[in-house]
Structure 1
């Protein structure tokens, strides 16, 4: 495949533009989860919610590509807000896993439902085939990015 894009098509620009809009919308909606939750901690919280058996802080730092101290500050903030808790790691008695509190999981699930509904509204004039092609293309892009970035 050639690395040149068709004239007038700037995928990077359009992805950045979309991510900026999603981030701005997310910032306005974080209060649904907690009124003092910031966007930086939100990204950590999503990883914790997506690990129902718990996740170590070091795993979060690695997954997000941040320094452990950055992860530690975000984790401490979420603990202070009462969004997450620590449980003993069953595989290593010296370590702890981070888990979302049940009420946090419920709020994040509702946030995600609302977000999904907003996305469906954006795609309401697309054909099912267009949505399927777009979803497959995004999956392919993300799969490749996981190995290349």
Structure 2
């Protein structure tokens, strides 16, 4: 990228490059979780796995910033693939929570472990201070991004 652009555009450009690379790698590895799983469904599965006590479909849609109908289609696909199940909400007998099936959770954890190992290899030449500064900067960026609607 040209140095005559403002620094904030260089940061955005580099973040975009990194996100594309991560997404491309994810697309290659997602079939290890399930051969029919697509990237959008994968993002829903992550969110469901990250809610260990389960999550309502409406909360899932809100958390991912998608329309309820989009969430409904993704959830139905994940159920059909046998990756998630519905269980009664202990706080509201009329409602249901989405939970990841144990095998799906285990496969996602294995995926995350491989991703962590790959990222560790990428930054293996960095100093501890470099890593700490980068982590704090990313956290600061994410915190700021969450404040903007």
TM-score (normalised: structure 1): 0.93
- Answer yes or no: is 1:91 the counterpart of 2:91: yes
- For 2:7 and 2:85, the matched residues in 1 are separated by 50
1:78 match: 78
| Runs of at least 5 residues in structure 1 that lack an aligned partner in the other structure | none
Deviation, 1:91, is 1.0
| Runs of at least 5 residues in structure 2 that lack an aligned partner in the other structure | none
- Answer yes or no: is 1:56 the counterpart of 2:37: no
Deviation, 1:136, is 0.6
Deviation, 1:5, is 4.5
Consecutive aligned runs of 4 or more in structure 1 exceeding 4 Å deviation: 4-7
TM-score (normalised: structure 2): 0.93
2:141 match: 141
Per-residue CA deviations over 1:31-75 (Å, capped at 9, x if unaligned) read 121111100000000000000100001111101111000000000
- For 1:126 and 1:113, the matched residues in 2 are separated by 20
- For 1:60 and 1:33, the matched residues in 2 are separated by 20
Deviation, 1:125, is 1.0
- For 1:100 and 1:115, the matched residues in 2 are separated by 20
